[in-house]
Amino acid sequence: MPDIVFTSILIRFIKVRASSIKDERGAVFSMVITLVTDTFNINNNGTTISAMRFAEALAERGHQIRVITCGDPSESGKDKKTGFEMFYLPELKVPIASRLAHKQNTLFAKPVRSVMEKAIFGSDVVHIYQPWPLGSVAQKVAKRMNIPAIAAFHIQPENITYNIGLKWFPPAAHLIYFLFYLLFFRRFKHIHCPSKFIAAQLRSHGYKARLHVISNGVHPAFCPPDKPKEDTSDPIKVLMVGRLSPEKRQDVLIRAVAKSRYADRIQLYFAGAGPWKRKLIRMGSRLPNPPVFGYYDRDELIKQIHDCVLYIHPSDIEIEGISCIEAFACGLVPIISDSKRSAAAQFALGPQHLFKAGSAKSLAKKIDYWLDNPQLLREAGKKYARYGKRYALKCSIRRIENVYSSMSPSDKNEYHRGFLFKLFSLLFRMGIATPLLLLWVRFVLGVRVYGRKNLRGLKGALTVCNHVHLLDSALVALAVFPRKVIFPTIPQNIKTLWPGKLVRILGGIAIPDSIMELKTFFDEMEFLLMKNHIVHFFPEGELMPYDTSLRSFKKGAFHLAAQAQVPIVPMSITFEPQKGLTKIIRRKPVMRLYIGKPIDPIDTDLENDSKLRMKAVREQMESFVKHSAAG
């Protein structure tokens, strides 16, 4: 074993040197990528399908693919159809857990160390899809061979709690997040997240790794039909794709159709299989047109999507919602649950595409709206077809390639804040910093704040203000108190011993110097906004003390707000001359902080939204400056 480990490390070093030389020449180099997944070559769940698509697409780009999975060990070797090098392992039988897994059409592979060492030896990267025994052993083998490993987070804890009857007890899901971290994910420096929603969940649950948000990707076959669909009045075909299980909420769709004014004309199609099939058949039998249940291959599913008028996504729990993306990539208009535990709500391009989670009445109303407006439905279909191109599989593959090629076993996440740091920061901010700053700012400097009522009921939001005083960050923090504000700032303000440590404790986060790191920075800020934090930017950039004009804005903050779909709260600091006896004590003008009304997202187009809201923010801020100047 020591000889294998040493040889693997030596090969890894040589490959890294070779790849860096190729990079300098601008060539794309081939990697040996080992995928570790308990199931493969079976279209039984989204995780398996994602692994298969990634393997196929990566192989097409010239990479050598190895797959460690469950199967007949005697069939191990090069797959003649795909060219993948397959390493099959026997099934691991786990009491109770295996029985539950079989109900979900999945299983566990038995980690045979000798086979896994052979598979991982000489790899450039190991991508582990599930946090089960197979993945755990794969991580240990990769670590011993000094080969970078990335874990994928495809199993949402809420899926587990729903299927064991604990959906009513949210702490159970939080416990599973903690156990996943403690027993598996804490060993990784990199985690692949299919959506920003789940990345924000992981960060809020204390996961330390670098989080790489990369969609599972839509296969290029999912595209609008060559010929526009002919309008047909009967039947009105409505589709839902997903496992037939409690968290997918097909029951809500059946009840919604029963309430719809078009109930006698709607024909439901459920694509999928699962433990709830019999129950759903019984429920659907009461409809004028009982639902059609089927399990389709890719070509059959695309044909079914093209034949339908609406796609409904009622799921309460969704880690990404790839079936929803596939549907709207084909031009099928979706209506999506607004569940707070689902990532799919991010795909709504307007309020008419969302319904209240679990409410059949709300869903029926949205179904009737779209069926009442066929012209709007056609226009929305074209809009969604364009939107679906963002999630193309080729884009995901290029991004995961960049992650693979830049990974290092020693990578560290600079944005993680541990529990003890958060606790100390809270106590210091509440008990020392805020009282002292409040005394100084209010009673010594005489600062007044106007418009605090505009902050009431605010959840995640981005605040902006002109940068005109050394204490303007303190003014914003006091105005928003007791909530904590995150202040992106230049690295020099963070990395010094003093006052860098203090700035970090009070919410400062360094804006990276490297352009390569900027995407990670903005992703992390978006995760914070998604978990209802407040992030503050000074869009003018440079500090200009006592400047009474409003300078030009940088675009980054407004693009972030558009991306995160959160309101922007404009603020302005103005200056007034001292009055009365205070002229003798202090000659510098007194500050006034004005808080404007939140500006909600205006447009689904990110570029247009950022431009429109930047203009609206500037107008509000200029009005505060003019009001102050007028006295």
Structure token pair of residue 11: 């090969």
> pLDDT confidence of 629, banded at 50, 70, 90?
low
- What is the reported pLDDT for 250? 97
* Mean pLDDT computed over 547-561: 91
Instruction: Kindly state the average pLDDT of the residues 274-300.
Output: 94
Question: Do strands 77-78 and 85-89 pair parallel, antiparallel, or not at all (unpaired)?
Answer: antiparallel
* Residue 13: per-residue pLDDT: 47
Arithmetic mean of pLDDT, 236-240? 96
Q: Please give the share of the chain, as a percent, with pLDDT higher than 70.
A: 91
Q: Quick check: 11 pLDDT over 80?
A: no
- Give yes or no for residue 36 having a pLDDT over 60: yes
pLDDT in tens, 592-619: 999 999 999 988 788 899 999 999 999 9
pLDDT at position 96, please? 80
At how many degrees (to 10) do helices 360-372 and 250-259 cross? 60
Q: How high is the pLDDT of residue 440? A: 87
Q: Do 236-389 and 419-630 have matching folds?
A: no
Q: Average pLDDT in the 11-39 region?
A: 62
Q: Which residue has the higher pLDDT, 580 or 294?
A: 294
Binned at pLDDT 50, 70 and 90, residue 218 comes out as very high
Contacting residues for 613 by C-beta, under 8 A, at least 6 apart = 558, 561, 562, 568, 599, 601, 602
The per-residue pLDDT for 8 is 52
Q: Which has more confidence, 502 or 229?
A: 502
Half-sphere exposure of 286 (CA within 13 A, CB side): 11
Average pLDDT over residues 166-178: 91
pLDDT for the residue 418: 80
Question: What is the domain partition of the chain in residue ranges?
Answer: 2-217+402-406, 236-389, 419-630
Residue 239: phi and psi, rounded to 5, are: -115, 145
Beta-carbon contacts of 257 under 8 Å, excluding residues fewer than 6 positions away, are 238, 263, 266, 268, 287, 364, 367
pLDDT tens-digit map of 409-438: 556 777 877 888 888 888 988 999 889 988
Please check whether residue 320 is in contact with residue 342, taking contact to mean a CB–CB distance below 8 angstroms.
no
Task: Report the Cα–Cα distance between both ends of the chain, in Å, rounded.
Answer: 80
Query: Rounded to whole angstroms, how far apart are CA atoms 314 and 252?
Result: 7
**Which distant-in-sequence residues (6+ apart) come within 8 Å of 207 by Cβ?**
181, 185, 186, 191, 416
Report the alpha-carbon distance of residue 544 to residue 546 in Å, rounded.
6
**DSSP structure string for 396-432:** HHHHHHHHHHH--TT---TT---HHHHHHHHHHIIII
Q: Report helix, strand or coil for 472.
A: helix
Q: What is the pLDDT, as a whole number, of residue 352?
A: 94
Mean per-residue pLDDT for 283-293?
96
Q: Please give the distance of CA 375 from its chain centroid, rounded to a whole number.
A: 32
Give, in degrees to the nearest 5, the angle at Cα 347 between 385 and 241.
Answer: 80
Q: Hey, what CATH class is 236-389 in?
A: alpha beta
Q: Residue 7 — very low, low, confident or very high, per pLDDT cuts 50/70/90?
A: low
Helix axes 374-388, 360-372, angle to 10 degrees: 100
Reply yes or no: is the peptide bond before residue 290 cis, omega within 30 of 0. no
Report the percentage of the chain scoring pLDDT > 90: 66
pLDDT for position 26? 36
* C-alpha to C-alpha distance for 85 and 72, rounded to whole angstroms: 14
**Is 2-217+402-406 a domain of CATH 3.40.50.2000?**
yes
Residue 191 — left, alpha, or beta (φ > 0 → left; ψ -120 to 50 → alpha)? beta
* pLDDT score at 24: 41
pLDDT at residue 382 is higher than 70:
yes
Pick the CATH number of 419-630 from 3.40.630.10, 3.40.1190.20, 3.50.50.60, 3.40.1130.10: 3.40.1130.10
Residue 21 scores a pLDDT above 60 = no
- Tell me phi and psi for residue 241, to 5 degrees: -115, 130
Residue type, 193: C
**Span 542-556, average pLDDT:** 90
Least confident of 122-136, 320-334, 438-452: 438-452
Confidence band, pLDDT 50/70/90 cuts, at residue 580:
low
Tell me what the pLDDT averaged over the chain comes to. Answer: 89
3-state helix, strand and coil shares in percent for the chain, rounded to the nearest 5 = 45, 15, 35
Q: Is the pLDDT of residue 280 over 90?
A: yes
Helices then strands, counting H and E runs in the chain, come out as 24, 21
Lowest mean pLDDT, pick from 157-166, 340-349, 376-385: 157-166
Beta strands in 417-514 (DSSP E): 448-450, 461-465, 485-489, 508-510
Task: Render pLDDT for 455-482 as a digit per residue (tens, 0 to 9).
Answer: 999 999 999 999 998 888 889 999 999 9
